[in-house]
Structure 1
Amino acid sequence: MKVSNKKWLSLFMVFVLIITGALVGCSNNSETSSESDEDVADPSKPLEIKMILPLFEEIPDMNNAFWTEFQERTNTKLDIEWVPSGDFDTKFDLVLSSGALPDVIWAPDINSPNLMKAIKNGAFWEVGQFLGDFSDYPNLKEHSSPNGWRFSKVDDKIYGIPRNRPSIDQGVKIRKDWLDNLGLPVPTTLEEYADVLEAMVKQDPDGNGKDDTIGHVHSYGGDGIHTTFAAGFGALDPAYDEDGGMIHYNLHPGYVETVKYFRDLYSRGILPKEFATMSTTQTQEMFESGRAASYTRNIWRAWMFQESIKKSQPDAEVIVLDLKGPKGPAVQLEPGVYGNLMLSSKLSEQKVKRILDYFEQTNTPEFFDFIFYGQEGVHYTLDEEGNKVTTEVGKTEIGTSVQQPLPLAYTTWMKSVDKNAPKEYNDRILEETAHFEEIGKVNPYAYVKSDTWTDLWPRYQNEWVSNAVKTIVGDMSVEEFEEYIDGLRNKKEFKQAFKEFDESYKAIWNE
């Protein structure tokens, strides 16, 4: 297909914007920190920390009441470049390749090939040498997620501070009011889920007289498959080849079965045609505007989405589903860590220690309470029963951005509760999803490692995604896709990677 000069120009401009950083956020101060060694060494003086962090909302006002109090309590001066979450992976890779690292950068995936290479090339401090036995950092030891430090190691060394997050996090959401409008039951299996979505796509659940309903949207693009669904096909259970190697999720038989399931969804008109190229921002807007029936994202967002949809569809009701697949529950658990905070190796030892002290100071239940609710009388008030009620200032100033520049003390409920929702609503959500921790699965490839895979996979990743998408949309047969995956699994170098994954898995769990 011929691409017009105008389109090529547009693509070129997007690339330029990404390179310059204009596309992905703004910084309080783009100049190099003016701190002297004496300033860093003096604990009474505010510590300047330059960071690159993800943004899941509007860019915050770093001079508002919350951020002013935050920096006063921590004796810091934060210079944060906020990067929209949908663009973060691109920005992260660009920063790594340029070598222009800030003091602290969030690494979304400790197993990222580009990050692993940067670590091996000495881009980041090995902070384990400072943490030692954690005797000087009891908060980082006691209030981190159960497996946070275990999953954050590279070659048995600690290069990043785990960002603690609950295991229960992701949930499949659906428009309950649309089910009711069409007299459809709440689905309990992946098969039933597909059936009700097809009915909603074809039967005008919002009654606007238009054929404009989208069935399912997924928040991360690519092949369009959220690992929540793959869990239902066994893709998060360890699988082994004939040599005893541990087959990676991307080549797992359960992943292939999930692709087949999404092929069926697409053939029935449930997926948007452009699903593979949609950003997180686009998919969220599609659901929040009342165009889509189902969306997979953090459980706590159900209330927020429902309130947004009610602006145009007052009877909207969003619920979280508990679905079962042919190989088990379609419930994905997080490993308790959502990326790591990495410290540039260009920092002095003194500054590394002060940043670690800052992480230690903030990694407490008390500071978590401040992060979540803010200041009494400013960001929340207490009702007659002593429950915290968020004020309008709190709703404006305290979003997910406040969680980003620190490890955040571990809780089991944070990703299920929306502090802006009524207590009765949050209590119901917690009751309905508490069992997820018992039935759900963690993707082991979020923490096991293989040097061979790290070097090998980048050469195949784009082709792998492309072929999965081709299979889903019907441009490649299922048989061809199975042969393609089987061919990769049987390559000598992949078999070596599988052996290394097995060794890593056993080492982590001391088998």
Structure 2
Amino acid sequence: MKRRIFAMLLISVFFVPILGACSANSNDPKEADLLALAPTAKNAGTDNESDPFGKKLDIEVMAWWPIMVNPDDEVMKFISKKFNVNFKVTVADFQPNIDHFAMRIASGDYATYALVPWFWISDLGAQYKALIEDGVAVNVSELAEKHHFINILDQLKQAEELGTKPIYADENGDFYSIPRNDGYPNPGLFIRKDWLEQLNLEVPKSWEEVERVLKAFVKSDPDGNKNIGLTLNGADDLGTFDQILTTFTGVHSMGWTKQSGQWTHKVLMPEFKEGVKFLHRMYEEGLIDKEFGLLKASNAREKFTTGRAGMIIHNANGIDYKDFIQIPLQQYKPDADVTLAVPFPSGPKGQVRSSGSPYGSTGILLANENEEVSVRMLAILDWLLTEEGTNLSLNGVEGIHYEMQDGKVLYNEEKWQHDFGGIEHHFIRQLIFPGIAKEKSPRVLPILHDNYMDVIEHGVREEIIGLNTNNTAKYGPKTEEVYTKWISSFVTGDADIETDWDKFIGEWTSYGYEAIVNDIEAFEAANAK
């Protein structure tokens, strides 16, 4: 019965559209225990029962990934041999992976390890609690402590220090998943570089300069396709507008902020109103896509990569840049070029930009009748957090994917492309991300690396993490609906900022504002460090 109830919970949640190397002291006895467990090339793949990895086990992982993992992938073969496992990989795009996971759990036939996004965990939400209560999710804290997986324990400690414990741990403080440090979300302002050069313009450093560059783009229309300036995704939410508004408020896009010792929300700040006025002005000048409210991310990308827009705010990681920006743009026009505005254009609050939590997803270790399988999976994940494991995930297998010459990595491009698919890290890094690949990968383009470092240096973070109350559940969707309705109307001019602003504030605050502020104060007191 529990499984049937859990399946209903999963189905109700999963089919909602999406909005959107550790080291230790060598004298540490725990490290000595771990080293005793660790396999070597000499004994990996043997049938020696005295070897902790002598018995071959079946392991399956589920994750989202934009390309298929080849059956002859040399990195996966290396892992399989090193840890003596039959390693099965089930990958799909983001939403199909979530749907598949739901069906697998409901059927009782689930993988060894599966990645899920933070919004599914949803601050110890119903589905996650059901997994724990039914004994489907393994207590990772307990198992890692028992077997001295010090890198996993360190990963959990780091997640706790960054305020994620209310999201991923139970009331006893035990983690039933491994929060995956994806690195801070790093959207960027992409600009047609060839247009800048053609018009003898510099990359804009402020939003006032962005406005001037957009005027030049729209007026000259370099590709002759009726250029509409800045295009963006506004059909799902106003997250791209929020990137701009943060430069006016200095507050994270989630909005809750402590000002002069009191909790409030960005919409109540005068600076927020000034930011909305700026967006309206750009819209009236024909510099913001008139269809923004109808555009999903794919629609906005299509406009940018076919010469109808000169700028787009979009994710700036290697996968998105290569597959969604660079390749389509060059297919449209081979000599077209693109750059990023780094640092992100400044506003009245200076050099600030919105950045979320680096823990955007988590890996759940799913119970197996044979505990050896869970332990072996943790051993693999723990090793991936070491320097050797990190090198494998970023460069591949020495002698196959690369050679070392004079201290430099020289890639076998054909083999590297075959197994990495042109992405800056291998699929195996997806399983447990220590947040370093974006900084250390030698394959990351310099402009993407610089943008990521700009996020780290200038990003403003959420000021309250892990709040989940009856009031946030009850009022959150409605306040988001009111916010989207009014801000969209103010930008387009369907509502007047001066005469209608108080109506907006009145409606927005009517949905539990004071109750949520009380919840935040109580949450802050309960979780004070």
Tell me which interval the TM-score lies in, with the shorter structure as reference length: 0.7 to 0.9
- 1:394 Cα offset (Å): 1.3
Secondary structure of 1:106's aligned partner: strand
Secondary structure of 2:125's aligned partner: helix
Secondary structure of 2:237's aligned partner: coil
Secondary structure of 1:497's aligned partner: helix
- Contact 2:123/2:467, CA 8 A, preserved across alignment: no
Distance 1:463 1:238, change over 3 A: closer
- Contact 1:204/1:211, CA 8 A, preserved across alignment: yes
The separation in 1 between residues aligned to 2:181 and 2:394, in whole angstroms, is: 14
**What amino acid is aligned across from residue 488 of structure 1 in structure 2?**
W
- 1:211 Cα offset (Å): 1.3
Distance 1:373 1:255, change over 3 A: farther
Secondary structure of 1:173's aligned partner: strand
Distance 1:464 1:440, change over 3 A: closer
Secondary structure of 2:59's aligned partner: strand
Secondary structure of 1:232's aligned partner: helix
Structure 2 equivalent of residue 472 of structure 1: 491
How is 1:12-411 mapped onto 2 (pairs within 5 angstroms)?
Answer: 44-51=55-62, 53-55=63-65, 57-85=66-94, 87=95, 91=99, 102-103=110-111, 104-110=113-119, 113=122, 116-122=125-131, 125=137, 127-130=139-142, 136-142=148-154, 146-147=158-159, 150-154=162-166, 155=171, 156-167=173-184, 169-205=186-222, 208-212=223-227, 214-218=229-233, 221-225=236-240, 227-233=242-248, 234-236=250-252, 239-240=257-258, 244-245=262-263, 247=265, 258-295=275-312, 296-298=314-316, 300=318, 304=322, 305-306=325-326, 309-311=329-331, 312-314=333-335, 316-322=337-343, 323-344=345-366, 351-382=373-404, 386-389=408-411, 391-398=413-420, 399=423, 402-403=427-428, 405-411=430-436
Match for residue 516 of structure 2 among 479, 497, 501? 497
Structure 1 equivalent of residue 24 of structure 2: none
User: What is the root-mean-square deviation in Å for CA atoms of aligned residues?
Assistant: 4.4
Distance 1:408 1:299, change over 3 A: closer
The separation in 2 between residues aligned to 1:474 and 1:96, in whole angstroms, is: 48
The separation in 1 between residues aligned to 2:519 and 2:124, in whole angstroms, is: 18
- Contact 1:171/1:320, CA 8 A, preserved across alignment: yes
**What amino acid is aligned across from residue 150 of structure 2 in structure 1?**
P
**What amino acid is aligned across from residue 152 of structure 1 in structure 2?**
T
The separation in 1 between residues aligned to 2:104 and 2:484, in whole angstroms, is: 23
Distance 1:484 1:303, change over 3 A: closer
The separation in 2 between residues aligned to 1:45 and 1:435, in whole angstroms, is: 45
Q: 95-104 vs 70-79, which deviates more?
A: 95-104
- 1:224 Cα offset (Å): 4.7
Distance 1:324 1:44, change over 3 A: same
The separation in 2 between residues aligned to 1:347 and 1:324, in whole angstroms, is: 55
Distance 1:97 1:47, change over 3 A: closer
Distance 1:332 1:163, change over 3 A: same
- 1:373 Cα offset (Å): 1.6
Percent identity between the aligned chains? 17
The separation in 2 between residues aligned to 1:489 and 1:187, in whole angstroms, is: 36
- Contact 1:143/1:364, CA 8 A, preserved across alignment: no
Post-superposition CA distance 1:332-376 (Å, at most 9, x none): 344332211234578776654443333223222321221122123
Distance 1:84 1:435, change over 3 A: closer
- 1:433 Cα offset (Å): 6.3
Distance 1:314 1:362, change over 3 A: same
The separation in 1 between residues aligned to 2:441 and 2:240, in whole angstroms, is: 26
The separation in 1 between residues aligned to 2:502 and 2:121, in whole angstroms, is: 26
Q: 73-82 vs 251-260, which deviates more?
A: 251-260
2:503 matched to 1:483? yes
Q: What is the TM-score with the length of structure 1 in the denominator? A: 0.73
**What amino acid is aligned across from residue 116 of structure 2 in structure 1?**
A
Structure 1 equivalent of residue 22 of structure 2: none
The separation in 1 between residues aligned to 2:524 and 2:412, in whole angstroms, is: 43
Distance 1:114 1:434, change over 3 A: closer
The separation in 2 between residues aligned to 1:189 and 1:485, in whole angstroms, is: 28
Secondary structure of 2:435's aligned partner: coil
The separation in 2 between residues aligned to 1:346 and 1:263, in whole angstroms, is: 56
Post-superposition CA distance 1:121-171 (Å, at most 9, x none): 445636354157688121124467944664332354423211123347333
Distance 1:276 1:121, change over 3 A: farther
Distance 1:121 1:307, change over 3 A: closer
Secondary structure of 1:325's aligned partner: coil
- Contact 1:174/1:293, CA 8 A, preserved across alignment: yes
The separation in 1 between residues aligned to 2:488 and 2:106, in whole angstroms, is: 31
- Contact 1:54/1:84, CA 8 A, preserved across alignment: yes
**What amino acid is aligned across from residue 409 of structure 1 in structure 2?**
P
**What amino acid is aligned across from residue 362 of structure 2 in structure 1?**
N
- 1:259 Cα offset (Å): 4.7
Look at both structures and tell me which one has the larger radius of gyration over its CA atoms.
2
Structure 2 equivalent of residue 3 of structure 1: none
- Contact 1:173/1:321, CA 8 A, preserved across alignment: no
- Contact 1:160/1:343, CA 8 A, preserved across alignment: yes
- 1:391 Cα offset (Å): 0.8
- Contact 2:191/2:339, CA 8 A, preserved across alignment: yes
Secondary structure of 1:158's aligned partner: coil
Distance 1:45 1:388, change over 3 A: same
The separation in 1 between residues aligned to 2:267 and 2:80, in whole angstroms, is: 42
Q: What is the TM-score with the length of structure 2 in the denominator? A: 0.71
